[in-house]
Structure 1
Amino acid sequence: MQSAYIIAALTICFLGFSSAGNMPDYIKVCHRNEPELAKCLKTSVHNLRPYLAKGIAELNLPPLEPLYIGDLNILDGSNGLTVQAKKLNILGASNFEITRLRASMEKQRFDFELILPHLQGDGQYELNGNILALPLKGSGPFTGNFTNFVAYVRIQYDIKNVNNLEYLHLKEFALKIRTGKGSLKLENLFNGDKVLGDVINETINQNFEVFTNEVIAPIARALEEKFRVITTKILENFTYSELFPL
């Protein structure tokens, strides 16, 4: 979840932080004919991490520390498990590291990979169903620690003319997440039965990657659509020349 939010913020950075006239002085400008455009964009975004942590009001970017996700329907029961997360907060999101980035103005495409070294999360959960052949039921607070989650994103765009001005138009925003290591603690499983709760928590953490792989696909799909809308809204505020000056 948090991975996907960071991806949306990075997309805005890549496509919106390249205009010297409209951006603050601390933004490193990358021109469309930059010989090493990918390297320039990577440096620019990495320089922005402390500002993203605090939020950038003029770009309507909320703080990444903490990153408030809020309520999210994760699984709807179609695979035997219903999961809802509520009041979800994430710490550590601004410490992302871009590991690979390919930028092609000719192909109108960006591909990038980033790693989230360490994240902490907390919130409320509700779940009911079966996973790993185990019955699960409960609601209450949860906490989690996550290391080395990796996100892959493909962005495809075209250029549209609106009132004789050129704007970037998002054609595709594809997101995949690869889970890393971590641990979860779900409180109040089975209405507070400590013995059963400890057994389930231990089983989940012994099979952490399997457990997260069960739920990561629907999370990625939901957040992909959410951040497609966010990115499109941002792009409507800048012309192509403002975003990528010559």
Structure 2
Amino acid sequence: MLCYIICLFAVIISANCGLAPFITPCETQNDTCTLAAAQAALPYVAAGLPELGVKPLDPLNIPLINSDQGGLSLTFTDNVVTGLKNCKIDGIRHDITKPKQSVVIRCSIDQSGHYKLSGKLIILPVEGEGRYNINIRDIVIKMTSEVRIIQGEDGKPHWHVNKWKHAYQVKTNAHFQFDNLFNGNKILAEPVEAFMNNNWNDVMQEVAPPVVYSIVSAVMDTIESLFKAVPADELAIS
């Protein structure tokens, strides 16, 4: 999910541009140093770097998440995601001489907002509208990406995210709370809530894909803003 933050770290920590004094410089392709420096810098970047046009990632506001597949229609609005600043980086591979980068991140996040559900969740009918909260513990996300050099509006070369993909798996658990299921009918709602939390892994397979994708997309937009603001020659690795 935070692949491009890490790619950014890998560039900045080897540069002499002084854009991020809280990052420890590392030699090129020294993955051990890069991993430690990126982990130390993550909370600072997650808090936002307004001078570079980088929006805060924790909390992360996502206006709309929706999905309509497998018989389940899902809409989340006014979403707030917290916990990204506490993510742990399990692995990182970054070589500026190649366009491909990869990172493995482990996070525990909380997401809340307003929901609207209708259709069938696995085997149970479900409907409702109201406030929701999802707690995800130990979601491991692997991202691979391709970054190219393009000419920026200032006439200088800039990094540009050309394409990316991701995969994820929840290692510990997830907990779901949906207020006002079945219009507040507890007789109908309580069995569905119990089913969700007893079968969290199966529920995550239906609910999580648009959620994770939206979070990754929001992070990508933030990092792309930074790449647009900072010329590549200021991020060059010697």
| Superposition TM-score tier, normalisation by shorter sequence | 0.7 to 0.9
In structure 2, the partner of 1:42 is 35
Q: Shift in Å at residue 161 of structure 1?
A: 5.5
Moved over 6 A (4+): none
Contact persistence 2:3–2:144 (CA under 8 A): no
Q: 1:62 to 1:189 in 2, by over 3 A?
A: same
Q: 1:116-156: per-residue Cα shift (whole Å, max 9, x none)?
A: 1x322322111111111111100111122221101111111
1:104 to 52, 77, 95: 95
State the 1:223 CA deviation.
4.8
Deviation at 1:100? Answer: 1.0
Tell me the equivalent position of 1:24.
Answer: 20
- Give aligned pairs, total: 236
SS of the equivalent of 1:179 reads strand
Alpha-carbon contact 1:145-1:182 (below 8 Å) kept: yes
Whole-Å separation in 1 of the counterparts to 2:212 and 2:106: 16
Q: Deviations over 1:173-226 (max 9, x none)?
A: 112222331111111000000121111110011111111111333344455555
Change (3 A) 1:52 1:107: closer
- Any stretches of 5+ residues in structure 1 without a counterpart? none
1:200 match: 192
8 Å contact kept, 2:118–2:127: yes
Stretch moving more, 234-243 or 221-230: 221-230
Asked if the contact 2:7–2:101 (Cα under 8 Å) also holds between the matched residues in 1, the reply is no
Query: Quick check: 2:128–2:180 contact (8 Å CA) kept in 1?
Result: yes
- Give the SS at the match of 2:190: helix
Counterpart AA for 1:86:
T
Which shows bigger deviation, 193-202 or 81-90? 81-90
Aligned counterpart, 1:146: 136
Cα 1:220–1:24 change in 2 (3 A) is closer
- Decide which of 64, 67, 86 is 1:72's aligned counterpart: 64
Change (3 A) 1:57 1:140: same
| Counterpart AA for 1:188 | N
Change (3 A) 1:229 1:197: same
Q: Which residue of 2 aligns with 1:83?
A: 74
Letter in 2 for 1:203: F
Among 170, 175, 186, the alignment partner of 1:179 is: 170
In the alignment, the residues of structure 1 paired with residue 74 and residue 80 of structure 2 have an alpha-carbon distance, to the nearest angstrom, of 17
Q: 1:244 deviation in Å? A: 2.1
- What CA distance in whole angstroms lies between the structure 2 residues aligned with 1:228 and 1:121? 18
Aligned partner of 1:191 in structure 2 is 183
Scaled by the length of structure 1, the TM-score of the pair is 0.83
2:52 equivalent in structure 1: 59
**Does the 8 Å CA contact 2:60/2:82 hold for their aligned counterparts?**
no
How many percent identity over aligned positions? 19
Comparing 163-172 and 175-184, the one that deviates more = 163-172
Match of 1:48, SS?
helix
Map of 1:96-135 to 2, 5 A cutoff?
96-116=87-107, 118-135=108-125
Pick the aligned partner of 2:230 from 231, 238, 242.
Answer: 238
Q: Mark the runs of 5 or more structure 2 residues left unpaired by the alignment.
A: none
Q: Are 1:8 and 1:230, in contact at CA under 8 Å, matched by a contact in 2?
A: no
Distance between the aligned counterparts of 1:80 and 1:235, measured in 2? 39
